[in-house]
Structure 1
């Protein structure tokens, strides 16, 4: 039995209208990740993942599921395992490029991390085509061109949680430590709608990669009467069958692509269809146009009620002033002239029996219109989601009594979670004359409850808000005029460009400080240092003075060679190298410690996997590697100290390597420095001979260190190869 026609109008409020042969919501990340793991394990042809983020570190399985799985849990290990299992399989990862604003949460060198961890049939691209201020916000996983996941969830940090949302959970561990309960919704579908997603992800990939991805499977069964595909995740049976659906997009103007605001038009049209109850859960509610449409429909339909579930508290100043301040205005528009028992904007929280309180973070993007329509998508009710970000929403239509029951079931299931009740309780409550008001009454203590938001405790409403214009814009932040008189939006800066700019800025600041110091600090010159050291010669303060000069010189990046020659010239060829070596070791240790603190604060993350690989080589080469670096004039003394601190080499290895690498050249510098002094005071053939001998010894030590370093590396590689061969022979014998 078929109900009234749906409102889907391709080109107006949707991109395409289609059908899902089977579909099921996946509520909260524990379920989605488990379902995704199952589908990837079963994949045979291709996998496309499109996301705001795709983090290689995420574990898809937890607890017993992880312990009992034969396949890896971490997504990078899983995709590597799958790609090596089937070299003909193609895996495509498309992630938003710009991530500087989310440095603490996201992998800074995502492409390099994925390239490092996976074989060649796993392709990774970063999407930098989005207009400045916007983001790549579609969240899609396509498996074998027969199964698709879509909705609000990324494979990202601070996402995983279970449906019971405990107050404390060891598994909710992110880059900044433990995070609170988090709620999200994804959907898995099969049938004709998958063919539309296949076109979308390939279009997105080809625009960024400039290459044609693998062709759609000719034998992919996406007909309306297709059976459940082999890759369908076990433990998640479909609850919708042969359901009519539509896909609505937001596509900003980028590279002459035709923009689309189908999401905006669809939401407005859906609101106009409501008669009984509109249920919304969304991360952000700031779009005034949506609030106005809801208010208008509430006035047109006296029996209509609206319940919105969102988050309690903002994260940071930008979110507070851009989204929470705007939610005050949204709520005011929504409620104007409406009886308070008919409309509520709420958050879900819990206080357990130990008195511990937690506020559930809402990241989902869900809307139900009576029992007629269900939206599960990526779009927030914000300005940027309607115009500037790339979005994709799936809208299911209750075209049969069974599918209408399923829409009502999803709504009741979500509300039961947020209010600590059962689905049966919700069926009774929503039949009351004022269902939203009834939701708020009689909630059970020590379980999750809905409470009306009071955003005034966080911020004040502001119609002229700089944070809002930067964080929730309707248009690109920067547009560039073209020769034809039109304008084109500037792209978000590429991650690589951002990192280069940061590096150049740091170098410029460092160089500027050094230049300023050399011009402004009168004693920071070779002559002043010589005079300062000369005054200490023959006193008890000689060694402390040398140590102080080396430490200050190291911090100010003063050339160590100049210091060593000066110390040798003043204290002679014996005590000069001894004092100089002690000063160099102390300066190295202090700058090593500064580097260690900086590395722990995030500089190691900035370096990325390539630097991590170099770090690993330095750690393996140990004392000899440090000695070779010290003998070869490849980098400034102070810079080597800082980089070593950022790396994972131990300070003992570093200082021993520094001593072995610097002391022989220090002796040569002692001869050179003392000879220069003698030539200046009393030139003779003997003093000139010492100078020439010192320079030749210096050059010989550098040449010898290069030879020794090469020999040592070759010997280590040969020993490693011999050991590997012995292990292989042992394994063969055991077999």
Structure 2
């Protein structure tokens, strides 16, 4: 086959056609992360990382590889280590900005986290240029403009797994605990194609940033004669050499950018080339146009077989109704009028010797067309990947006998993993008359095996619905009409905008609830509470009544000062403060516990690094810090309790600080409250003087506590500084 026999047409089904001097697939995340770590350690000039996510917490190495490595394993520590070693090294991180829909999984304050963890020669930006509903889905890493990694994998949580995909693995541990087996495919390239990827990531950087990245190196090793570049990862020899390839993109309508659907056109053109076997593994199969194209080609070529492998179970309602319901329609369109022995849609699962079941989750985006073409990319077979998300796929063309055999090797290797066989077994099965049926027969127990999907157990076929329109759209969710009669898509809101809006909404909601309660609940007033307390005075129910009032008032954000004065007015200057502090401690503990639950549920992420720094200062200041906050009326009582629970301070420190900070002022409030009662009962210079004295005492205690807190904090910081100096 000659180069002119390929179907690559620049500007139609691909952006550019080029060559990879060397290329190797990286199957499953343990291999990708290990290879990436090796290349990053070797970086000398520049690193570009473009992704849907770039999580600073991710460990690239596990087990013995991590123990034996001299370089850090965690991605943020590794990049900081490299950047500090070589100040001339330039590192550029571009991550999709909007992440509200993935709150529980993604770092909410990603830019601030990266800026805090890395030196100045590591630059981070969040890409907010994508239309509402779309995402930055390209996954590209370039090292020294000589080696590029691209495919389906992100540096993100819940991705790492080994090729054997054990049913249970302590290493598969994410923010929400252990996750199940996960399969993905990436690739590493060297050669002229790296320059094309370099142009792509620099274009993306310039769209999202005001700064210019460094130019592409003129002395980069790109020719086959140059040999493997220095940054090529250890332990991963090339599979392909001097292979023709093309890059196909999806670019949505963005400001002054014309939309591009090269991926869509490439996949349709590739399907039309198939004669004997199409192998597909993909996270989603919801694009009906692809199913119809496969069906047409099956009818046009009687010898053609199609094997599709994807996930088994949907995650959540949106995925179920948007993608699994669509997969039922996809399957029906694919099978229409076709011998069922020629086409299968399957998932891979295992029941091990202990009776434990696991379903392999697929995140890969791979397609082979006979032994002629191989696709490894970021695009799902979904509506959004064809039109709305930014995507980039690499398409290999079998331009030599060696490269054609390697395309077959990739396909047979993947099928072996999913069906529990050896590669040489699947290689024999894929050349039989009906490989789809042959792959399904003779699978062994207690290994991974392929099973035909039956999505009706999860959902029904759906017409267009709200889930599909939100999760798998073709067009931006929000567009603004122009004077010319067209429309301009609205960009995804920036993370800061989302967080500020969320904060304003929460504050407004709390304020509205408090106002509603004050207007609608007849007993939630100072007069009603006072009358309720007076009924219990002199009875055994006095203390329980006060505790109940503080408990309910705390949850409803009723002002504690008003409550304390009311208790003092009813129970006097002695028992009033005693009852009041006991009620305040109960209310504090209750709201603290609620805050702790909210914090563990993920609310701590909303604050970001700056709030975390304040949190750590509060934790260091401990009892005295809490006491100072209690004495100074800088925030509502209930809000302080709630925030303290979300923070890292311990409950003992918090309650002790609350006691020390509130009891002295409460005595003063007792005098004030008792004086107010006596003034109404018997106005005299004596009762008025009690009132004035109580107010003055209250003010002096606030002033004195502030001075004491500043003095104590300075003394503590000075002692810490002296200790650190001695240690140094």
Q: TM-score range by the shorter chain?
A: over 0.9
Asked if structure 2 preserves the Cα contact closer than 8 Å seen for 1:15 and 1:246, the reply is yes
CA shift digits 1:28-84 (9 cap, x unpaired): 000001111111111111211111111111111111111111111111211122222
Contiguous gaps of at least 5 residues in structure 2:
none
With 166-175 and 221-230 compared, the bigger mean Cα shift is at: 221-230
C-alpha RMSD of the superposition: 1.6
Which runs of structure 2 are paired with 1:416-495 in the superposition (5 Å)? 416-495=416-495
CA shift digits 1:375-426 (9 cap, x unpaired): 1000011111110110000011111111111111111111111111112112
Which runs of structure 2 are paired with 1:592-671 in the superposition (5 Å)? 592-671=592-671
Q: Number of aligned pairs?
A: 728
Deviation at 1:528, TM superposition (A): 1.7
Q: Secondary structure at the match of 2:126?
A: strand
With 139-148 and 424-433 compared, the bigger mean Cα shift is at: 424-433
Asked if structure 1 preserves the Cα contact closer than 8 Å seen for 2:96 and 2:136, the reply is yes
1-side partners of 2:390 and 2:113: how far apart? 25
Which runs of structure 2 are paired with 1:226-625 in the superposition (5 Å)? 226-625=226-625
What corresponds to 1:685 in structure 2?
685
CA shift digits 1:219-270 (9 cap, x unpaired): 3233454321111110001111111111000000011211100001111111
Q: Aligned pair in 2 of structure 1 residues 404, 708: CA closer, same or farther (>3 Å)?
A: same
Asked if structure 2 preserves the Cα contact closer than 8 Å seen for 1:573 and 1:671, the reply is yes
1-side partners of 2:168 and 2:44: how far apart? 38
With 588-597 and 244-253 compared, the bigger mean Cα shift is at: 588-597
Q: Secondary structure at the match of 1:394?
A: strand
1-side partners of 2:19 and 2:430: how far apart? 29
Deviation at 1:465, TM superposition (A): 2.9
What corresponds to 1:182 in structure 2?
182
2-side partners of 1:694 and 1:466: how far apart? 62
2-side partners of 1:291 and 1:551: how far apart? 61
Q: Secondary structure at the match of 1:338?
A: coil
Q: Secondary structure at the match of 2:367?
A: strand
Asked if structure 2 preserves the Cα contact closer than 8 Å seen for 1:191 and 1:226, the reply is no
Deviation at 1:568, TM superposition (A): 2.0
Q: Secondary structure at the match of 2:345?
A: strand
What corresponds to 1:714 in structure 2?
714
1-side partners of 2:340 and 2:535: how far apart? 85
Q: Secondary structure at the match of 2:358?
A: strand
Asked if structure 1 preserves the Cα contact closer than 8 Å seen for 2:412 and 2:427, the reply is yes
Q: Aligned pair in 2 of structure 1 residues 699, 428: CA closer, same or farther (>3 Å)?
A: same
Q: Secondary structure at the match of 1:686?
A: helix
What corresponds to 1:733 in structure 2?
none
What corresponds to 1:732 in structure 2?
none
With 671-680 and 379-388 compared, the bigger mean Cα shift is at: 671-680
2-side partners of 1:545 and 1:331: how far apart? 66
1-side partners of 2:291 and 2:502: how far apart? 41
Contiguous gaps of at least 5 residues in structure 1:
729-735
Deviation at 1:280, TM superposition (A): 0.8
Asked if structure 1 preserves the Cα contact closer than 8 Å seen for 2:328 and 2:461, the reply is yes
TM-score normalized by structure 2? 0.97
Asked if structure 2 preserves the Cα contact closer than 8 Å seen for 1:21 and 1:226, the reply is no
Q: Secondary structure at the match of 1:217?
A: coil
2-side partners of 1:13 and 1:151: how far apart? 18
Q: Aligned pair in 2 of structure 1 residues 453, 535: CA closer, same or farther (>3 Å)?
A: closer
Q: Secondary structure at the match of 1:58?
A: coil
1-side partners of 2:90 and 2:710: how far apart? 40
Q: Secondary structure at the match of 1:105?
A: coil
What corresponds to 2:113 in structure 1?
113
TM-score normalized by structure 1? 0.96
Asked if structure 2 preserves the Cα contact closer than 8 Å seen for 1:19 and 1:224, the reply is no
Deviation at 1:501, TM superposition (A): 2.3
2-side partners of 1:664 and 1:248: how far apart? 71
Q: Aligned pair in 2 of structure 1 residues 594, 460: CA closer, same or farther (>3 Å)?
A: same
1-side partners of 2:457 and 2:586: how far apart? 53
Asked if structure 1 preserves the Cα contact closer than 8 Å seen for 2:3 and 2:244, the reply is no
Deviation at 1:275, TM superposition (A): 1.5
CA shift digits 1:425-465 (9 cap, x unpaired): 12221221112211111112211111111222222112333
